[in-house]
Structure 1
Amino acid sequence: MRFTHTIIVLFLLMTCTTTFAQEKNNAPLTKKKITIEIPQDSVKVKKSLIKKIKDAFKFRANFRKGEEERIIAIINRLEKPTPPKDTTVNNTYITNNNVPISTIQKQIDSLFTDFTTSVDSTKISNIDINNLVDKLLPMVQKKIDLEKEDEKRQAKIKQIRDLLQHPYGIMTTVTINKIPVKKILKKVDRNTEVYGFHPYWMNKFYLNYNYKTLHTLIYYGYELNGKTGGYKTLNDWNAAEIIPKAKKEGCKVLLCIFDKDKKSIGHFLKNSDAQSRLITDIKTLLEEKKADGINIFFDDFGETNRANFTEFIKLFSRNLKHINPSYQVTLTLPVIDNNNYDIAEIEPFVDRFIIDFSKKNNYGPILPLKDSNYSLDVGLDRYLNKNIAPKKIVACLTYNGILWQYKSKRSDYKFYNTITKDYLTKYTPVYDKNNGARIDIVKNKKDTISQLWFDDVQTISDKYDFILNKGIGGIGIWGLGSDDGRPELWNALIDKTMYIKVQTTILEPPVEPSRFMSWRMRFRQELKLYEKLFKHPCDFTEADSKKMLSDDIIIMITKILFAVLIAVAVFCIIQKKKLGEDWPKNKLFYGILTFLIVVLAACIVLCLFLNPKFSGFGLSSSGKCETSLITVLKILAAGFIIGLLAMKFLIFPLIKPKEIP
């Protein structure tokens, strides 16, 4: 133990000495930066301070096990980590107290800086060191623990990603002493459905989507013309490459019909001809792209159109289901519906209600978790209390953040990718478990001029957990592509909505035929083995060969048939010489002789088939798959029939003696 501590101290002393020498000689040297900032007064003072800190850690470590490993881990963590090459995986994972790992690291750095600048380095006492360790030890230990948790999480996500490449899972057979005892099937399953909105203006980002994470892709593209019922534009629905790609990856695809003009929607809901045209157009569009249904996304159309909207939904649903019962009819609803929707009437005609939590209604975060009329908690309860089946409700979140001007209260949406590039590189966010992450943009170090609210990996994961605990039907994401290929938000979806399902099948232990099987069971087993052997010799294993009991019996039968054939042939020759044409059983014995020859030939073929040393057909010692016995017998039968026909029509006419008058 002392040797290990000595090595650690020598390493730190060498680092400090190298730093001092480099500054003195201005020589370029690659080195790791140490978080501990110590006044550059003398090497002797540095040695003393580092030794005191190390000794304090040593004494404190005695109260728990793993002293050596823990001290090494803690001192190693005092080094500032090198920025990762992959900046998409950053330290944004948050502790239970809503403090991210990156913030813990900054607290540690700040603690050392404050300590070494506020205390005279030549008069540092053991009390000062102990106070420092009191503050440092919990933070460093928490950072280590959280890094381990994140490593487990990343390992789980990697395993799921690998299994997603095998849609039917991976089967593993467990053997003991070469005997299979159980089969384990691992495959990916879902906790809930995931719906992703693809806005038409995001078409260039579709290659970065993780389609296997999605259950359904909703193409936001059909802009309704309320006067005619046709479309103003399809926004590349007919030509978008995302649709066949999503279908190939196993996603369902829905076409979103949207209209933001209250007057246009009102005109449409009062015009039956316009509704009929929309239904006709949608039928054609869905059939052409082999899509799976529609999503209706109307903005506020007013309480006066409540009954008209209800009748439209009924008409639309009936017509689509009549063409294809598997078509999905989904409806996007605002957090507060203002009495526009008769939920009780339309509920039987709608497969999913997607609650849109992606729009901001007042100052602050887009979607608080609780304690707001627009919060996730209140919004979901509002619709659950309307007796919608929980499995029909989907909570739609957003990847976007919102930037508020502090004085004017004007706002601007920001893509997640923009937030990570332009803001997280300059500012440190403040975390609130209820409201998410916030960045205060200040002027003159004191005047706040704007605030940016957004969700990162942990805050959006907290909302996923809340949704899953509610037991509703799914999670929706508005604005696929706003992350621009960054993997952390996709990983959060995988982590929360997917899991590895393990199915174990216990195999029956093999039974020794000679000890436990009755003659009926043996006979049935032999028939199954011969059926497998004759039809699929390539699948006939060494274990199957050991189970087979009749190898020697076939050889014995072949020998007996050969002896009987010789005896019958000799008997026929003797009788023919003795009685000539007057032998009355001439035809009978020649028929028996022919039958014995055919059966003997089949038995010889079977013996050769079962002999692995004979290559050509059947089993082979080389492991090469040979021709099946059925094929061989068919060839022999065909040859026998051809031979008979040749004998009858070709050979016999030639050798038959001419009749003499």
Structure 2
Amino acid sequence: MGLCGAGWALLLLVGASVCWGECPCSDPALCQPITETRDFEVYVFFVEGKNWKYYDWAHVTTVALFAPYDPELMCFAHYKGARFVLTGDVPVKDIVASEKRSAWIAEKVNLAKAQYMDGINLDIEQPVLPQTPEYYALTALVKETTEAFHAAIPGSQVTFDVAWSPGCIDLRCYNYTAIADLCDFLFVMSYDEQSQIWTECIAAANAPFNQTITGYEQFVNISIDPKKLVMGVPWYGYDYTCLNLTKDNRCKLTKKPFRGAECSDAVGRQVPYRVIMKQVNDSVSGRLWDEVQKAPFYNYKDSKGNIHQVWYDDPQSISLKAAYIKKLGLRGIGMWNGDLLDYSNDPIAQKQTADMWKALLP
């Protein structure tokens, strides 16, 4: 882990080396697990740096760690009453055997306890076909992880990341109904919705409104409780190089197959919102709005003369989707990821960042 320093002891627990020591917080009470569950979830993925100091902590309920462990962040999150959870990913083929699942789960529980954390976010995202050994192993992993964490850490939270629809997106043909029942809730990744482009190879919105809302209706239609669903929104966009751009802004793309589809957003490049905000006003087109997909986009020309089209989400498009949280009775909202905004002291950036956080609240 690279975390053992002065005052830390090395323990061997169920074959896993973990660091265990005194509480790193100034107030030892901050090392106690968070047990309170708030009515509205605001779920943040933390990826890098110290941007977390500028999150909207008045509303944040959970921070999922997708970066090296930071004890200062753990203490601060607990001070704000927010959970701080691990991330977990494992090749599904490696946990078909029950003893291997148990060992992996034990390692994660011990790590969470050693770091005074409050649960785990299972981010698997692997292709799994129905009725295969991996299909059953994945469901068992969720069940056993939830049971182990709840038993070991009072009030802990186990969540599972799913694609924008339960319809075998990217060949992720999971037992969604069972998984939702077995964990605390699903984080629905309502983005990268062009990962499989089945129609024309043209640039489109990362999270088009109608498709996004239809995905939630599909989850509910397979008997998943809406309170088990947290809406994920993107704080990034896709930059596509156009083979040609028509007068009505149709950007034709190079074909790039992905898991059965002839075209994919993998041909594009992910761009943080903070970069988009610096580029859009100097673009060829300025900000444009697609009324069908209810998403902003713009066109620009690079130094080599190539035309690009950038699709993204901003407060207008996010607010439209967030409004459906109450209509559908969902548990809350979150984003990938919390560190894609501009947290500098530039006044314009500060307003843009504040508006993006505000857009999360329906």
Q: How does the TM-score come out when normalised to structure 2?
A: 0.71
Match of 2:217 among 357, 370, 381: 381
> Does residue 497 of structure 1 match 2:361?
yes
- Distance verdict in 2 for CA 1:462–1:344, change over 3 Å: closer
CA deviation map 1:133-192 (0-9, x unaligned): xxxxxxxxxxxxxxxxxxxxxxxxxxxxxxxxxxxxxxxxxxxxxxxxxxxxxxxxx873
Q: RMSD between aligned alpha carbons? A: 2.5
Q: Is the 8 A contact 2:146 2:183 kept in 1?
A: yes
| Unaligned runs of at least 5 residues, structure 2 | 1-37, 198-202, 244-252, 255-266, 344-348
- Equivalents in 1 of 2:354, 2:182: separation in Å? 32
Aligned to 2:319: 461
Equivalent residue, structure 2, for 1:205: 51
Aligned match of 2:259? none
CA contact (8 A) 2:87 2:120 kept: yes
SS at match of 1:401: strand
**Which residue of the partner structure matches residue 217 of structure 1?**
63
Aligned-residue sequence identity (percent) comes to 21
CA contact (8 A) 1:368 1:376 kept: yes
Query: Contact 1:191 / 1:497 at 8 angstroms: preserved in 2?
Result: no
Contact 2:43 2:60 survives alignment (8 Å): yes
Q: 1:450 to 1:425 in 2, by over 3 A?
A: closer
Report what 1:398 is aligned to. 234
1:322 pairs with one of 145, 151, 162: 151
Taking the aligned partners of 1:395 and 1:432, their CA distance within structure 2 comes to 22
- State the secondary structure of the residue aligned to 1:295: strand
**Per-residue CA shift, 1:44-98, capped at 9, x if unaligned?**
xxxxxxxxxxxxxxxxxxxxxxxxxxxxxxxxxxxxxxxxxxxxxxxxxxxxxxx
**Whole-angstrom distance in 1 between the partners of 2:357 and 2:275:** 20
Summarize the Cα distance change of 1:333–1:421 in structure 2 as closer, same or farther, 3 Å threshold: same
How far residue 294 of structure 1 moved from its aligned partner, in angstroms, is: 0.8
Does the 8 Å CA contact 2:241/2:307 hold for their aligned counterparts? Answer: yes
Instruction: Please tell me whether Structure 1 or Structure 2 has the larger radius of gyration of its CA atoms.
Output: 1
Q: Deviations over 1:411-441 (max 9, x none)?
A: 0011111111133344511112433111022
* Residue 283 of structure 1 pairs with residue 105 of structure 2: no
CA 387–325 in structure 1, closer or farther in 2 if over 3 Å, else same: farther
Secondary structure of the residue aligned to 1:203 is coil
Q: Which of 73, 78, 88 is equivalent to 1:257?
A: 88
Aligned residue for 1:102?
none
1:530-575 deviation line (CA, Å, top 9, x unaligned): xxxxxxxxxxxxxxxxxxxxxxxxxxxxxxxxxxxxxxxxxxxxxx
Letter aligned with residue 364 of structure 1: A
The partner residue of 1:349 within 179, 182, 185 is: 182
Structure 2 residue 294 is matched with structure 1 residue 438: no
What secondary structure is seen at the aligned counterpart in 1 of 2:215? helix
> In structure 1, how many angstroms separate the alpha carbons of the residues matched to 2:281 and 2:318?
17
* Post-superposition offset of 1:442: 5.0
Contact residue 121 and residue 161 of structure 2 kept, 8 A = yes
Give ranges in structure 1 of 5+ residues lacking alignment: 1-189, 222-235, 499-661
Is the CA contact 2:44–2:63 (under 8 Å) kept in the aligned structure 1?
yes
| Separation (CA, whole Å) in 2 of partners of 1:490 and 1:466 | 21
Alpha-carbon distance between aligned partners in 2 of 1:191 and 1:345, rounded to the nearest angstrom: 23
Task: Give the conservation status (yes or no) of the 8 Å contact 2:159–2:186.
Answer: yes
User: What is the 5 A alignment of 1:58-457?
Assistant: 192-199=40-47, 202-221=48-67, 236-237=68-69, 239-259=70-90, 264-266=91-93, 268-303=94-129, 304=132, 305-337=134-166, 338=168, 340-359=173-192, 360-361=194-195, 362=197, 363-370=203-210, 375-407=211-243, 408-409=253-254, 410-427=267-284, 428-433=286-291, 434-441=293-300, 449-457=307-315
**One-letter amino acid of the structure 1 residue matched with residue 84 of structure 2:** V
* SS state at 1:241 partner: helix
Q: Distance in 2 between matches of 1:421 and 1:399?
A: 14
Partner SS, residue 325 of structure 2: helix
The letter of the residue matching 2:173 is N
Q: Which amino acid aligns with 1:207?
A: K
Determine helix, strand or coil for the equivalent of 1:464. helix
The structure, 1 or 2, with the larger RCO (C-alpha pairs under 8 Å, 6+ apart) is 2
Aligned length in residues = 281
Classify 1:449/1:478 alpha carbon distance in 2 versus 1 (closer, same or farther; 3 Å): same
- Whether the 8 Å contact between 2:43 and 2:334 is mirrored in structure 1 is yes
Q: Is the 8 A contact 2:165 2:219 kept in 1?
A: no
Report the CA distance shift for 1:417/1:457 in structure 2 as closer, same or farther (over 3 A). Answer: same
| TM-score using structure 1 length | 0.40
**What letter corresponds to residue 438 of structure 1 in structure 2?**
F
- Is 2:322–2:359's contact at 8 Å kept on the other side of the alignment? no
For the Cα contact (< 8 Å) 2:283–2:298, is it kept in 1? no
Paired letter, 2:328: K
Structure 1 distance, partners of 2:164, 2:314, is 22
Task: Give, in whole Å, the separation in 2 of the partners of 1:394 and 1:191.
Answer: 12
- Following the alignment from structure 1 to structure 2, what is the Cα–Cα distance between the partners of residues 284 and 426? 50
